[in-house]
Every structure is written in structure tokens, then in C-alpha cells.
Structure 1
Amino acid sequence: MLLFGQFRFDSERLVLYCGQQEIALRPKVAQLLAYFVARPNELVKREVVLKDLWQHGEFREAALNQSITELRQALGDSAKHPLFIKTLPQQGYMWICDVKVAPCLRKRNRILIGIALGVAVSLGSMVYLYNNSPFAHSQLQAQPQLIIHSMQNHTGVQANAWWGYALEGVLRSRLQQDYQLLPKSRTPDYIDSVTKEAPQQFYLSLKPLQQRFLLQAELAGRSTEVIVEQLDDNFSDIATQLIASLTDSSGFVADQPLAVNGLSDYYRGVQALTEHGPQLAEQYFEAALIQTPEHVPSRLELAKIAWLQGDIPKAKAHFSLIELSPTSLALRARYYLYLGTFEKALGEFDNAKHSAQLALRAAQKSQQIELIASAYQLIADAAWSTTQWQDYTHAMSAAYALIGSRSFAYSEAQRSFYLANPPAAGPQQKNTLNLAQSKEVLEVATRYYRQTERQIDLARSLFAYGQNYLVPVSESEDSLLEALEIASSSGDKYFKVQVLTYLGFYYIQLHRGDEALSYLNQVDIDDAFIPAIEQLSVLKAMAYMDIGLTTNNHEPLQEAHRRLTQLLANEKTSAMTHANAQLLLAWVALKQGDVDNAESLTQSAFQAYKLSGLDDAIVYAKYTQMYIYLLRNKPDQALDLIDFEQDKEAHLMLFYASVAAHMAKNDVVLMRSKRMLGELQNSQMLLEQLGLLTQQPQKSVELITELLDAPYSVYCQSKWILE
């Protein structure tokens, strides 16, 4: 046992004590403490610590910073006035507190201090291998799958539904050891399913019975009924009765009911959050905290609600007040998921990925599929935003292995509108989104949520459905507008911003720039949400560009030019947005007749896309360069850019290749490119333009600009079904 200050540290078990109280430390933080106390008063360089404790991982620097911060917090230490860990700028750290060995254990601890580093490194390697195994959830495979359906409330009083949420919460907590609990979001997939692959299903319904209530429950062909005298905190006992009646868990030992005041308010908040949104839910969680200030679930929901409503300082305050040491693994996973999602919204992608890894670790230990899949999805989100395609593909593949197409229907919908149209932001062949499968999943989900009270789930399904390019415009527009209506009334300002922003993009694609601006101008969001602000800036510039291109109005084009130039001048603009702004500015230059500037900007965008592995976006830069070569009467150089295998679904690539082949009198390439173009949907107008051009005896810049769609005619690339 090692002694320093008021602390005792068991270097064998890596446990820290202050007096008789154990202080909870993450394994990596405990390893870091063991590392320091083994080297008192020695300069420990950062690169050495990273080499010894973080041999793997892309975000080792951030992980070390986070661990140092957590260790200081546990010790009550200060970076400015240190008692234990002193920071030596540009050098590293030094443990400055004397370390003593408890007398009765002096000999034993001499050995332990020597091997503390070895233990720390071994543990670190084990954690890394566990977290990075492709199928860390394999231990779940032997467990039967189970979906616990939301309780059907037949009492006639919607306010009674909170009790069902509470009962379901206890059931999920107690059955997770014996079943693979599938996410509630998958309920629509199996609501009418009778296939062999369908999981077991737990049904609950509550009916009035002579001033009391009758709870009916069914699981795997077994059913039972329980008389409930009143709807209060008895849901824990009721859950025990149901499990005893409906399962074979004869050795089941019920958890002790939680002695927490305000649980009814908490579950009323959960109901309100699911059915109406954060605005109504907030007051219930606040009421629960008044009764029990240390109730972590209520505090966690309030942290999430705060940032969804745009109150960043309040959100950070709630997160900082949460003490994780006494909480369950599942709750820890939720904490890091909420925190990571918040960090992602702020543009702190490295922190978000770190939080997602911590969430994954806790979720895997808790063996809850929904939490594991959500952690992988958050890792994928962070990887997408930082163009780390290998990490993205790995994480989404893991999520898909856990919950199938459901993992893509929602997560990928938030990114899908970048894939088919500029500004592009996706790697070709690296996106596993199946639009047809997603459309089917979302149709079922939307029908199901319309029959329930879960308005927020309905809004998110409508939003994802409206973004699917296989949905006809006549349906997608109504779907998006309905999602906006629900989001506006829910108090979820961040979700409302997402819908408004997408509607702006949506109407740009429909050649309705004025309508796009009307929605984009409604966006009201704190500047701290950097990715959303950046996205908004690009789309407003695109809307002005669209108006200028379609009306030949000089002023909107100038406004688009001004906004895009501002983005390029801003040092905080992300590399991805910087490249998109260059390409969009090139299109404005082409419209204004400045071909030299357009070519320079196009080449810069091309190099940036190539460096980031954005193969889809490279296509836009390539066909823009092809158009420039056509303007300069250099058809052979234009043909050098075409790759018929890689570009077989790019309308303008094939179109410009056909024009270049005609100009170069290359009949073989002309026949091939024209045939491939004709096989694509929405290509008839381009083929008509090609026919008009081939009838002209001479080819000039004026003729090309007059007859041919320019590269800024992004609508030619649209994959929407315009019905």
C-alpha cells in the first residue's frame, strides 16, 4: 500500500482510497497513477508516457490529456497550484508528492512498485484488443433475442403511461443478463412478424378494473395477469412478479428496490421526452432532481435537453455535476454517448470519438445491444467528419452486424444528402447505405409510430424518409414539412435546425432558391455549434448561387461569391468545406465568364478531395475540368479524364465525354458514352442537348455555353424520382 498526502493507493489492485472511502478511477487513469507513483520527482516526458501506456490508437494525445484531467480531479489537484502532478511546459510531467510504503507491507510493495508499469501496460493492451475486436459482442450470440414492447395504455388517461415506461425500464434492467435485448427502434420490424428469425416478444397492456388496474403480460406464449391497486413506485415489485411468472429464472433474485425519491417524476419525464419532446420533459426531470439531487439519470437527461435547446453553458454545467462512480455500466455508457454527441455537435470530433470509445467499453460490459450499436454509430459519425474512412467503415459494419439496416436508416439519413449532390462529402464505395432497404424500413416505422403516441420517433422517421432519394418528391416534401412541424412544437431546437437546414438543401435541388433561403433564414443556432454553422453558410451561398444561375441575376451571384470567399478566408473552416467552397466558387466564376479563375479553383478542389479520399466529390471537380477543356476546344484532354467504369453513373461525366468524343471525331468513344448515358434515369434532356450540338457545323465557346448544361447544373446529378 502506497501513501501520499491524504491518500492510499493499492498498487496491486489499482485502487485509490481517501480515508476509508474508495475513489473510483477508470482503469486507464488508475494505470496512469501507478505510472507516476513509481517515478516520484522524476521528469516524465509526454512521448514516453504515450509510448508506455497508449501504444495504439489515433487519439492518444487527447486520451492522455483527458486522463491527466480526471486524475487531478480525483486527487483534488490543480494544474496552476499542483500538490501531486506538476506540468513542465514543452517537457512533460513530474510527480512532486512524497510516496511512502506502509511499514507492514514495505517489502511486498517494493516488488509491486517495480511491476506496476508492467501491469498497467498489460491492462491497456487488453482493453485495446477488447474494444477493437470486430465482434466484441459475440458473447451475446447464445442468448435469446427479446423485444420489450411499450405498454399499451387502455386506461383512457394518457398521463398513466409513465408507469409503463417505469415498468419497462425495470424489466429491461433485470432481463438483460438472460436475453439479447433488441432496441425499441426495431419494434416496427417485428410487430407483425411470424418468421423463425423473429425474436421473443414481451407484450404489456394496462386496463381499468373497478378503480384498480389490470396488467396483462405475455412472453413467448406464456401469459399472466396482475391486479395493480394504484400506479405508484410499485413497478419494481410488479416487474419481479412478471419475471417469476413468465420466465424460467427459478434462481432469479430480485434487485432491491431503489430508495430514490422522485422516480415517478423521472419516468414521467421519459414519457414526455418520447412522446412530446424536451420542452415538456424538462420540468419532470427538474422535479426529480429537487427530490433527489444526486439522481444521475435525471441530471443526464437535463444535460442533453439543455444543449438540444441551445443552452451550452447549462449543458456543460449538468455534465460536470454528474458523478459516475456509483452508477451502472449501462448508465455510464449513456453518459458518454450523450457527451460524445454533444461534442460532435460542437465540432470537437476527437473528443467525441474518445467519449464514444468509453461508451463502447461500458456498453460491451453491460451487454446491451442498443448501447453498443449507438457507440459504434457515434464512432462512425466522428470518423466521417474527420474523413477517416477505415474507422468509419469498421464502425458502421459493427453496428450493422448488431442491428441490421436499422443502423443505417437513421444514422446515414443525416449524411445521405451529401452523397448524390454537391457539396459532396462522401467516399465512393465506402458508404454502405442501401437506399431501397432504408426506404422500406422507414415506411414501416412511420406507419407504426403514427399509431402510437411517440411523436419524436415519428418525426425522426419522417425526416429520414424525406431524405431518401428513392422517395418521390411529392411524398418527401410532405414528410419533411411534417417532421419540421413536430420538431418545432417539441422544443428540440437542434433537431429543428437539422430539418430547416435540410429543407434549404432540398429546395436548392428543386431549383427553388428563394424557398431554400426562406427556410435557411429561419435557422437560429449558437455559433458554438461549428459544423451546423458551417453547413448553413455553404447552403446559403448555394441558394444565392442557384437564384443567380436560374435568373441570370448578377446580384445573387455576387452575394454567393462574397459568402464563399468568406468561408475560404476563415481559418476555422474545415478542410472538407474549404474544398466544397472552392468548387462552388469555380462554378460562379464560370457563370461570370472567368474561366482561368474557375480552372485554378477546380484544380485546388480536386487536390483537396483526392487528399481526403472523397472519391464521389472528385467526380464533380473532374467534370468541371472537362467542361473547361470543352470551352477551350481541347476535347482530347477532356477525354483523358473519363473513367468509364468509375464514372458510369455520373450523368455529366458521360455527357461531356460524348461531346468531347464528337468534337474529337472519336466515334467509338461517342457510341459508348452515349449508350451509357442513355441507360441512366433523367438523361433525356442531356441527350437532346447532345443531338442539337452534333447538328451544328462549328463548335464555339458561345455555342457550348448556350446549348450545354454547365457543371453547376447540379440537378442533372440528382437521383431523386421527380414524380
Structure 2
Amino acid sequence: MYCFAEFTFIPDTACLNTASEQVRLRNKVALLLAYFLQHPNEVISKDRLLSELWQHGDFREASLTQSIRELRAALGDDAKTPRFIETIPQRGYRWICPLKLTSKSHHSKSANASKQNIFASTKKLIFMGLCGLVAMSIWSTTRYFEDDVTADEADSQQHIQQQVESLIVLPFSNNTGNADMAWLELGLSDMLSVDLKRANQVQIVSPAQGNLLLLEHQISWPTLPNYIRAMLEKEQIDAALVASVRLLKQQQIIDFQILFRDGRVQQGSMSFDNLAANIDRVGHQVFQLINPKQVLTSEHSQPDLSAMAIAQGMQALQTTGALDAKRFFSASLTLKPSLWAKAYLSQTLITLGQWQEAEQTLFHLVNISLEHDPYLDAFVHFLMADLMSKKRSSREQRLDSQERYQKCANTRCKTSC
């Protein structure tokens, strides 16, 4: 057990306690905290943390960043003014909070005193052992098979309770028989992955990334569960979400399966008048199936009235193009103002080269406090960086073009003279 500031942390149970609250940390977050506490005041590089705590995989660095963010949130720590985890630029992280004496040190002192009683009790133990040996041999014979079954059940229970650290959301299948609902395939699945990402609990691989992985592994879609599990094993992803949408009596029904890398399967079905407007409820159900002992912390959902337009815009960005996507996102904002719709519209404007309009929208978003939604905050800053990069590249190309034109003009002038 470790004690620091107002907290006590028990690594065996992954519990972080205060005087009034107990929080059970996600497995990777608990391992990360334990590692920091074992190396206080020591600068620990990202490579070292990845090597010690993460298996090889394409998404482990993103998982480390997410786990650091989640640990800071559990501790109430601020990266800008840290009390616990200090970020050392270009070098890594350092645990800076002093540790207090724990019951472990008290136990080591009492252990010395207890050694004096060991010799006196040894004689009694030998005598009791001889008497019990005969009885034990008879009892162990009758209990052999029962103990074996119990051990198997315990191992199975421990296996089932393993927490999911990463989930890939694969494109949904449109089984509605309606071509106009093709937006379900990527648009709705992307909305679900965004909603799960915002919960800050599990590393999410988006449907677009999932498509790339399917191509990389030469897997046609849809495919059999065995091929998906083989991909999960190679990429070190814990589970995959496979879903299809159908219509029944004017209801949109989503049937989904969660395929775990270890062979388990969880499945469910939900029915709504409008799936896009209730995507947060679908996400909550999925999360409860993959990690039933944790509580989904996200309290924000996509706007109800404009959710379908957002999903259609996401689909258009990846299929028919940015011009169609702009119409959907603009329609979403007309139905109901939304920060997410503004961010997606800015992304579309950047793609279309309408940089001035995109810049105005992004500056408006940057000046709004987005602390309640760190994923949106990160997305907006990514778009700002992308816009600045494109503008800089365009400016350099324009100057280079002017320089070539001037050289050409000078050459012609000399020739005519």
C-alpha cells in the first residue's frame, strides 16, 4: 500500500482511496501509477514506460497518452501546475509527490519481534502436523476432483474479469435494404467511436482506421469472426465491435457482437426511432458489455435533432466528398447549434480550401472553454495545426512560383536585348 497527499493506493486491488471516496482504476492506469510510485522523483521516458508496461502494438503510444490523462484526472492533477505527475519536455514524466510511511514498514518492524516466537511454536506445529497428516491424506483423495473443478472455475472467472484496454469499431453493415441509409456504414459507426473516445476509458480504433487494417491484412468485409480475431491478435487489440442495422415496423434496430481476442463473445440488440439521435445510449451499452465493473464517465451526447445530419456528413467525408459533407454539417447547425458540428464543418472547409472561413470558425472554438470535452479540444487543436501547415505550404509554393516567373522574365529580357 502506498500513501501520498490525501490518497492511499493498493496495487493488488487497483483501488485509489481518499477519506470519502474509493475509485477502482483501469488495469493499465493502475499499473502506470504503481510504476511511478516505485520510481519517485525519477525521470521516466515514454519508451521505458512502453517497454515495461505495454505489449508491442501500433496503438500503444496513444494508449500511454490516454492512460496518463486518465491517471491525472483520477488524481485531480493538472499538467500545467502538477502536484503528482510532472511532464519533462522531450524526456518523459516524473512523480514529484512525496510518499508517506505505510503499514508495510510497520509490518517489517513487527516481523522481527515475531521471529522470537517461531521456535517456541515450531514444536507444536510439528506435533499437529503429524496428527493431521493421516487425516489430510484421506481428505485430499476425496477432494481431488472437486478442487480441480473449483480451480478451473476460478481461472475462468479471472479470465472473464480481465479488463478491455482497446476496442476497434468496424464499419456497420446496412441491412435495411435502403440505399439512402448507406450513411449507417461509416457515419453511424464513426459517431459511436467518437462517443466512446470521449468517455476516456478505452483506447478506440475508428472505423476508418479499421478499414485500413482490414486492407493491410487482406481481409474482405464483411468477414468471419476467426479472421477478425487473427487481426486482433496481430495488432494487440483486445476486442472488435461488429454491428449491422435493420428496419422493423419503422424502428431502426442495431444488432452487434463484441468479439474478444481471447475467444469470448458478447452480443446485444437495441431498437430506436432514430439510431443517430441515441448513439450515446448504444455506446453506454457497448461499454457495459466490455467492462461491466466500470462506469461510463461521459455525460455529453451528440445533439439529438441534428445527429443524423452529422452522421451523414461523416459518411460523405469518406465517400462522396467534402462538398456533400459541408451541406450536411451546415444543415446540422441549422437544426441545432453544436460545437462538434462546427468542428466537423471546419474540417470540411479546410479540405475544400476555404481556409479563411475555417480559420474564423476554429478561432471561435479555441476561445471557448472545452475542458468538459478534452477529445473535442484535441480535435480542434489538431485542425488548427493542419490549417496552419496547409497555409504555410501554400505560401511557400506561391513564393517559389513568383521566383520562377521572375527568373523566366529576366531570361527573356536578356535574350531580347
Scaled by the length of structure 2, what TM-score is found?
0.48
Higher strand share: 2
Scaled by the length of structure 1, what TM-score is found?
0.29
